[in-house]
Amino acid sequence: MTDIVDRKTRSRMMAGIGGKDTKPELVLRRALHARGLRYRLHTKNLPGKPDIVLPKHKAVIFVHGCFWHRHPGCRYATTPATRAEFWAEKFRGNVERDARILADVRSAGWRTAVVWECALKARDVDAVADRLSGWLHREGGHVEVG
């Protein structure tokens, strides 16, 4: 299957996909703030510049897009029909980088959470924020929501 737009247009479209302040991030941040949680954003001194950093709880939250970060079993983690080798390599690199970053953040003594984009679409955002709030207020290492 060929692309419906030319290479230059596709390149411009892909370049426009932002890495921070995405809609899922903003929705989650709003819900966490409403629960009295205060955080920092994209802290540069931590591996991977986590989306949400909660220094008081020594915890970080990564908000992952299901497509780019390959959420297992998710309907949003589709694979484009064109250039299969390119996409397979791209996705493999993303998944490997994510695993390395999570390990690095944990080895630095931080607790980690991954919230998948689909959890903020399909589920009640309040339920996701409640789960994260509960995780923050008790001992525990890693949590995944999605």
Is residue 68, in this structure, part of any structural domain at all? Answer: yes
pLDDT > 60? residue 10: yes
Domain that holds residue 38: 19-145
* pLDDT (tens digit per residue) in 27-71: 999 999 999 999 999 989 999 999 999 999 999 999 999 998 999
Is residue 103, in this structure, part of any structural domain at all? Answer: yes
Is residue 122, in this structure, part of any structural domain at all? Answer: yes
Is residue 60, in this structure, part of any structural domain at all? Answer: yes
pTM recorded for the entire structure: 0.85
Q: What is the CATH number of the domain that holds 80?
A: 3.40.960.10
Q: Find the range with the poorest average confidence among 12-21, 63-72, 105-114, 129-138.
A: 12-21
Output the 3-class SS for the chain.
Answer: CCCCCCHHHHHHHHHCCCCCCCHHHHHHHHHHHHCCCCCEECCCCCCCCCCEEEHHHCEEEEEECHHHHCCCCCCCCCCCCCCHHHHHHHHHHHHHHHHHHHHHHHHCCCEEEEEEHHHHHHCCHHHHHHHHHHHHCCCCCEEEEC
The domain tally of the chain equals 1
